[in-house]
Amino acid sequence: MKIAGMASNRGRNLLHIADTEPGGAEFSVVLTNEEGAPVIEGAAERGIPTEVVPKSDDETREEHERRVLQRLEGYDVDLVCLDGYMRILTDEFLDSAPTTLNVHPSLLPSFPGMDAHEQVLDAGVSVTGCTVHVVDETVDGGPIVTQEPVPVYDGDDAAELKARVLNDAEFAAYPRAVKWFAEDRVTVDDGEVSVDGDDGGQFPARRVVSDDRGRELRYGENPHQDAAVYVDGACEEASVVDADQLNEGAKALSYNNYNDADGALDLIKEFDEPAAAVIKHTNPAGCATAGTLADAYERALSTDPMSAFGGIVALNRECDAATAEAITDSFKEVVVAPAYTEAALDVLFEKDNLRILEVGDLSERSERLTEQHLVGGRLVQERDFQAPSADDLEIVTEREPTDEQIETMLFAWRTIKHVKSNAILFAKGTETVGVGMGQVSRVDAVRLAAMKAEEHAEGKDAEGAVMASDAFFPFPDGIEEAADAGIEAVIQPGGSVNDEDVIAAADEHDIAMAFTGQRAFQH
């Protein structure tokens, strides 16, 4: 698509569109009605032809616009984009030119005309934004193509608001509208605009996210980084963001505390049985389920008590005194649980800076999506709720796993979903034995898990354990390492081109193996 841009001053939106080329759109020309307008230099720097067509004092609007149209006739133009073009266009121009768009710095139909930002501030509204619309014979009244909201903060002045609307709203909305036109997705009919594919659903074509700042943090991941935590007020699921910190005198949670506590809470939500997890740097140092919460915690801790030092503890039951006593035997940063007995709080409160979070009922998992911020955007995906049953497993080896091993496989699979990839996890019963996380080589992850089980686990080892892998084994070497560690059963997704070789290696070492058919990456 070829664009003609028209501006009277800087034309910053036009230059931004030229830089981003939404939908592959390119400028054929930038035209201004002001001699020396800064947009001329900006366009020339980008290799865009320019035209200057000033209006003389004795010239009518119609006559001037005919000269503008004559200049445009020399260029291939599919769409006209205005940006601060300080003239009201006549019907004659609009009838002769291609579809013409303009961007207005408010959410039309509110605050049309000049001084939109001043009007917004005078009205005392809390949200403004911008509107991209088709230009018609009215003033800022043409059919709306798209809008983008911007908050108005207490203490804003017109200059601050103008800068935020330009950078946060116009630089998003105007290229979006141009992209839609370039992709031939826009229909303008009888004063109405429809956009093919501008739909809603789980992954809508456009997202508007509004969170409230919960609190500023002491610092981010490192002391030189400022940080804050924002709250989604519509979230109904138990979360650490909205949790009550019961010991108000303790220091507030840090950025890393929030991140780790969220990961720990997400892991123990996997289990119906009493469960405990110890998290360090968003990875499980250990996880277990048991008949009692105290036993679950002890088994989780014993996986890697050295790494658990300074970690985050999450529990899926009301914390009792016995569990609290076990937790306070070594240094922990945060405890997360749905509730606490008075006796448990008496124990936990003895530790001055052990943050105690009460998150409430864990039964509801209402948040369906998770997201990660990127520079320039966000990744959004469904949360990984997969929880295969025994019937979902495909046994691919000569040796069949025992019922106990299948139970361990299923526990290990729910847990490994929360281990950073490449991930390997050793388990016995329903407790972890060794965890190998965050390795760029799957063989190294196996070796790390084996080392953890051999050197760091207390009262347990890898002999006879089940191994879980979050993705397939590309070669048999991972199975060879597992056999050396004493592994007797493996659960993994399968799907490698070398599956037959991997299965053969398992058969050679008399290891039972099950495929899930789904991987469980966590990055």
What is the identity of the amino acid at 465?
Answer: A
Please tell me the distance from the alpha carbon of residue 90 to that of residue 65, in angstroms, as a whole number: 8
Catalytic residue, chosen from 16, 64, 104, 456, is: 104
Joined together, the tokens standing for residue 403 give 């019922």
Strands of the 2-7 sheet, one edge to the other = 50-52, 26-32, 2-7, 79-83, 100-104, 127-134, 144-151
Residue 157 CA to residue 121 CA, distance in Å, equals 8
355-358 contacts, C-beta under 8 A, 24 or more apart: 355/245, 355/247, 355/250, 355/251, 355/252, 355/253, 355/257, 356/245, 356/246, 356/247, 356/250, 357/240, 357/243, 357/244, 357/245, 357/246, 357/253, 357/261, 358/243, 358/244, 358/246
Are 165 and 156 within 8 A, CB to CB? no
**In this structure, are residues 484 and 453 in contact, taking their beta carbons and an 8 Å threshold?**
no
Backbone angles phi, psi at 41, to 5 degrees: -65, -40
CA 38 to chain centre: 38
Task: Please tell me whether residue 111 adopts helix, strand or coil conformation.
Answer: coil
Three-class SS of 3-67: EEEEECCCCHHHHHHHHHCHHHCEEEEEEECCCCCHHHHHHHHCCCCEEECCCCCCCCHHHHHHH
**Contact present, 286 and 278 (Cβ < 8 Å):** yes
For residue 473, give every residue at least 6 positions away whose Cβ sits within 8 Å of its Cβ, in sequence order, or none: 442, 479, 492, 496, 498, 502
Examine the residue annotation and report whether 104 is marked as an active-site residue of this protein: yes
Task: List CB contacts of 80: < 8 A, sequence separation 6 or more.
Answer: 3, 4, 5, 6, 72, 97, 98, 99, 100, 101
Phi first, then psi: give them for residue 42, nearest 5 degrees. -60, -40
Neighbouring-strand partners of residue 319: 340
485 phi/psi in degrees, rounded to 5: -80, -10
What count of other Cβ atoms lies within 10 Å of the Cβ of residue 395?
13
163, burial (CB in 10 Å: exposed 0-12, middle 13-18, buried 19+):
exposed
Whole-number Cα distances in Å, 87 to 9, 65, 162: 12, 10, 20
Give residue 215's identity as a one-letter amino acid code.
Answer: R
Q: Which of 80, 78, 84, 58 is nearest to 68 (CA)?
A: 80
Helices (H) and strands (E) in the chain, counts: 16, 25
Catalytic positions are 104
